[in-house]
A and B are shown apart, each in its own frame.
With several copies, the nearest count.
Chain A
Amino acid sequence: MDDVALADPPRMMTPSGSEVFVVELAEFSGPLDLLLSLIRDEQIDIYDIPIARIAEQFLGRISSLKLDEAADYLEMAARLVRIKAQMLLPRREGEDVWDDPRAELVRRLLEYQQVREVVDVLERRSEERRGRFARAYTQQAIQVPVPGALRISLPELLSAVDRVLRLARKPHIHDVVPRALDVDGAIGIVRALLAIRSHAQWKDVLPRKAEPWEVLSLLLALLELAKLGELRLAQPRPFAAFEISRDSTGEAA
């Protein structure tokens, strides 16, 4: 299709005798535009379109188009022909309600007409604005470090995580579950440690320069083992390091 800025480029030029149509076609922004203009030219009631006639005219107008440019127009032409055929079907005896095969087309035409009305408004506004210039010179901004107040909460962040996860679950995108959490591996480490010691500290089971995923894996492993009743977690005071103790049946808490 054409670039936004190029207002109605003369797209199609054929040496045939139908230059009039050709020139006009270039002015249409699509099949609905063409159709609407036919209806307007013929002064037809949009709610009662003589489909056979309009279809014929429509086909006549687009016959000069090159196929690749005309795909959208041809689709509309096919639609018109289909409606025409449906109109010819005999109505059943005693049928009260008749589904007018043109109804959907009428709806689309009206909708499109509304779009064009808005376009008129936009064109007027745009001309108004094009007649003025804004400031073009921008001064070098000085950097003032003022952290803008931000109002976001954890639930909002978590919802975003959730959205991302749903997004990531689509098969063609790869999985976004935090970097290879190895909870099972961490469970193994903790179990091995508690097999030889009844008490341990958080730092005993965590590598020195642990990655966030390792911390997270270990945390989840501890919670899992605590849930299974294999160990107990205690914290002597807030923010203090965890103490991990074996919680076998033979031992007191």
Chain B
Amino acid sequence: MTALAKLLEAALFASAVPVPVEALRVMAKHADDGETTLDIALAELRDHYDSDGHGVELIEVAGGWQILTRPEYTEAIERAQLAARPQRLSMAALETLAIIAYRQPIGRAEIEEIRGVGAGAILKSLHERALIDIVARGEGLGRPLLYGTTPSFLEQFALRHLEELPRADELAIALRAPRPATPTSVPAVTDNGEAPPRAD
């Protein structure tokens, strides 16, 4: 590519918004790339992307010029980004989930008070993973969103219902007792191995 086309590629790549043609013209003037005019360089860049087989293309929009990902790739990209998300929850996310499981419905402020740090991003992530959902709105100022766990949450931990979670004060024992890694044995209800169905 010509020097000007390369410069335009870099500039269009780095700009957060479409670059107005006047700005490009100023650049072209500064670059002073011999015979190559702005129009020639833009055409060169566009043809390069089109004919050489690229994942991006040069587009003229209302505000100017812009390099965009070709639309046929967007879904594959999005899927891959999602699929590649970490398969484990961070310690902070697990703690937040634990608080919600035991205190639901619970608002963000209360969660943050317990953990002592902000919970906004974690709540968003847990929500995206369908482990929690907004189950109600609280009383009081701004009617805060209240979170609760979802059926996916139960599924994830192989719980039939929330009551299968051990009591807080049984935890010390539940945690000490050896158990298989897979959550098949249910800690709280040992008497006959079955927990009561939910009341709802």
Residues of A that sit less than 8 Å from B by CB = 1-8, 29-33, 72, 75-76, 107-108, 110-119, 121-123, 125-126, 128-139, 141-144, 146-165, 167-168, 170, 173-174, 176-179, 181, 202-203, 206-210, 212, 214-216, 218-220, 222-223, 226, 233-235, 238-242
Contacts of A111 in B (CB 8 A): 114, 175
Q: How many Å from the CB of A139 to the closest CB on chain B?
A: 5
Residues of A within 8 A of B171 (CB): 114, 117-118, 158, 161-162, 165
Q: Are B163 and A133 in contact (CB under 8 A)?
A: no
Chain A residues with CB below 8 A from B197, complex form: 202, 239-242
A-B CB pair tally, cutoff 8 Å: 329
Q: Are B14 and A4 in contact (CB under 8 A)?
A: no
**Contact across chains for A30 and B101 when beta carbons are under 8 A apart:** no
How many angstroms between the C-alpha atoms of A165 and B167 in the bound complex? 12
Q: Which residues of A contact B69 (CB under 8 A)?
A: 132-133, 139
Size range of the interface on B?
35 or more
- CB-CB < 8 A to A115: which residues of B? 95, 98-99, 114-115
Is B116 a contact partner of A126 (Cβ separation < 8 A)?
A: no
Q: Interface residues, chain B, CB within 8 Å of chain A?
A: 10, 12-17, 59, 66-71, 74-75, 77-79, 82-83, 85-95, 97-99, 101-104, 113-122, 125-126, 129-131, 137, 142-143, 152, 155-160, 162-163, 165-169, 171-177, 179, 181-183, 187-189, 191-192, 194-200
Q: What are 21 contact pairs spanning A and B, CB under 8 A?
A: A2-B90, A4-B122, A29-B92, A108-B114, A132-B74, A133-B68, A135-B14, A137-B66, A142-B74, A150-B87, A150-B131, A161-B98, A161-B168, A162-B172, A167-B114, A170-B143, A173-B116, A178-B168, A179-B102, A209-B199, A219-B196
